[in-house]
Chains A and B, each alone.
Chain A
Amino acid sequence: MILLLFLLAALAYGAASFAYGADTGEPRDGQLPAIRRRARPLLIAGTVAHLLLIGLQCVDGDHPLKNIFLATSFGALVTSFGYLALSRARPLDAIGTIVAPFGLGGLALGVVFSSVNAKTLPTGGAIASAHVGFASAGLAGFTLAAAVAGLYLVTERRLRRKKFRPGTPTMSLTGLDRLHHRLVLLVTPIFTLAIVTGVLWILQAGGPHMLRGRVFEIVAAAIAWGASVALLVTRAAWGSRGRRSAWLTISAFLAVLLIVISYGVRG
């Protein structure tokens, strides 16, 4: 059953990636081409299959707390859900080109790698559960925020270089700026809690000396947290926005991604 769900989810995510990424030319009078219109239903199908798969894995004892791959798979699922919610009333198709492959990658990590050679995370009860939950949500939030910020930068660059064709059904520049700021505003407290619970988990599992082995992850987390807080503070204090804010969001995401990769590689 897990294999069947995996295949279904992978096919749906793969087809959604193709549909979002297909070069269909310019939309016609606000109407998307047929292939692009199928992208969202495919992503929904992939997300639902992914959710069922994670549910079945939990029943089998392979829950997101067990290892970093299962946790990342859960994070990718949250990202897909987040994107589907965000894009319900906003023209954010361009971000689908990132979210759908991200979902596929998370799915593959959660099924293929976790069953091959995954180190089991130390058990830590409620703190560990909270950490994995917050971290997965943080990963999803930063992924979405960075995707929106990336779209902002691309749109801004095209406008500046006069390559932008008005009338394209996409969010306005200020709309994108506002959206990635709101996402960072939402995800920063969650990520802060992920850091706190992570430190507590390490202390609980092995004492302060364990922290020394996690310097890279701690520094990366600090960078991510610092970038997101800097964005929020500069916006609140000086109204700062635009390219700098977008780059801060992307920096935060890259730092979070490094943490995930580091856990994946080092265990």
Chain B
Amino acid sequence: MSGELYAIGVDHRSAPVELREQFAVADDDHARILAGLRERAGLSEAMLVSTCNRVEIYGVAGGVFAPERVLPALAELQRADGEAIVDHVFVRAASDAARHIFRVTSSLESLVVGESQILGQVKDAFDRARDSGTVGPVLDRCLSLAFKTAKRVRTETEIARGAANVSSVAVELARSIFGELGGCMALVVGAGEMAEGAAVHLRTGGVAEIAVVNRSAPRGVALADKVGGHYEPWERLAAQLARADIVIASTGAPHPVIDRALLKPVIRSRRGRPLFLVDIAVPRDVDSDVTELPNVYLYNVDDLQEIVHENLRTRRGEADRAGAMVDEEVGSFVQWMRTRAVGPLLGELQAFGRDVVDAELERLVRKLGAVGPEQRAAIEQMGRAIMQKLLHRPMSNLRNAHEHAVIPTAMLAEALAALFELGPRAGDRRAPPEARIPQATPEDATAAAALAPSTAVLAPMSAPIREGTG
């Protein structure tokens, strides 16, 4: 196991929904799929993110691992058509995989950039994988950092600012007028799909009461039942307007159904209470001259769309800033991976140094005969200081080799192991070689090509094995 991180899957950019849906995994099926993937695809760690826009597997694997096998394995487990998906799969490895995971979690890869659901979905997927026992140190570290990054992106950029759909904008505007919507009454005029969507948003937003006025009673009653409201006949429109705080107009009428003549007496009876009219019908349901009445705020579908567009523009503008933050955090993760990889070797080197000092100290003490405890401590201290000073530079250089060394980290590590006879040659203290040898960066690989003939064992750390269309 080399401990290489992979992100393999299909998303809304790489595959159409007809293909994605074949691979979608139900929440209660995660454990079975993860166990199957570990067995069939040779992943030492794995987690599965399955949402309406993506089915992705994040995993750790080593040795002779063929990432292309992962999706077909999933297809088998899901009894889906593995052949159809082959051209749509993306595979990212090492730092590219980490970057992908961080970007997905931070909602930079979402259909609507900055949407908040994906973070919760990835967290749920991570919890399920942990419950299934398929999360190891690499995924644990990677996802913890990804969650931290997502939080940072949300708080330090405007990526999530403003609603991204018309109904949410309407709810936000209603909040700007009324504050909390708990005490508000909403009136839905019409019973179409748009009206239903808006009513559901208002209910979620906390509106206390919803009345539905519609010409067709059965459709009106059906919508009222769906959104937990009550139906009122069309003749009671004016009476309901007098009671309502928020009005969603979405009928299929060819002419305005709410005009100044209807609203004027209503407004008088409202004693200055604001009335928020949201006209999402085309042709429009509310005559624009009602805005001349006091305390009436009318927004039609174009007005709401404009706010949505502005919000999305802001989000897109922030995506670059957020991307830079992600790169920064990915850098720290990659650094951790490298330190983790050379850590055991450095430990062995220090142990070797300690052994030498101890042995030489014993030899010297035997040779000198009577040595007091103070002298012994002084000699020991000097020995250890010399050892530390001698080892400090090579250890530090190995730790930071990826930043500025001409020789690749992996080669340095191999050389160090060979020169000091660390690892199996010196006993069996060392960890498996794959765990100790750091992976090379593309820069490392270039340098290695120039300097050494035998770098075939080193997989480029950040080069994707195959990029999908996403």
Contacts and interface: CB of A to CB of B under 8 A. Distances in A.
B271 A238 contact: yes
Contact of B294 (A31, A159, A164, A243): A243
Interface stretch (B48-56, B124-132, B140-148, B176-184): B176-184
Nearest to B183: A174
Interface string A144-169: 00000000000100011010111110
A173 B176 CA distance: 6
B155 A242 contact: no
Contact of A174 (B155, B160, B178): B178
A38 B95 CA distance: 39
B459 to A, nearest CB: 39
B303 A174 contact: no
Given A29-B155, A29-B161, A166-B169, A239 B179 contact: no
Interface in A78-116: none
Contacts of B297: 159-160
B271 A240 contact: yes
A165 B172 CA distance: 9
A175 B274 CA distance: 12
A167 B179 contact: no
Nearest to A174: B178
A186 B154 CA distance: 41
Interface string B309-353: 010001000000000000000000000000000000000000000
B271 A241 contact: yes
Contacts of B177: 159, 172-174
B173 interface: yes
A28 to B, nearest CB: 5
Contacts of B178: 172-174
A162 B303 contact: yes
Interface string B148-163: 0000001111101111
Most chain A CB within 10 A, of B160, B163, B177, is at B177
Contacts, number: 76
B272 A242 contact: yes
B40 interface: no
A2 interface: no
A239 B176 contact: no
B22 interface: no
A: contact size bracket = 20 to 34
A25 to B, nearest CB: 9
B179 A29 contact: no
Given A159-B297, A171-B179, A238-B271, A166 B161 contact: no
A162 B271 contact: no
Contact of A241 (B155, B172, B175, B273): B273
Interface of B: 154-158, 160-163, 169, 172-173, 175-179, 271-274, 291, 294-295, 297, 299, 303, 306-307, 310, 314
27 contacts: A26-B158, A28-B157, A28-B161, A29-B154, A29-B155, A159-B176, A159-B177, A160-B291, A165-B307, A165-B310, A166-B162, A166-B163, A166-B172, A166-B173, A166-B175, A170-B176, A172-B175, A172-B177, A172-B178, A172-B179, A174-B177, A175-B179, A239-B272, A241-B271, A242-B272, A242-B274, A243-B295
Which 9 A-B residue pairings sit nearest by Cβ, starting from the closest? Answer: A239-B271, A166-B172, A172-B179, A241-B272, A242-B272, A173-B177, A175-B179, A166-B173, A242-B295
Given A162-B306, A171-B179, 12 more contacts: A26-B158, A26-B314, A28-B157, A28-B158, A29-B155, A160-B297, A164-B173, A173-B176, A173-B178, A238-B271, A242-B272, A242-B274
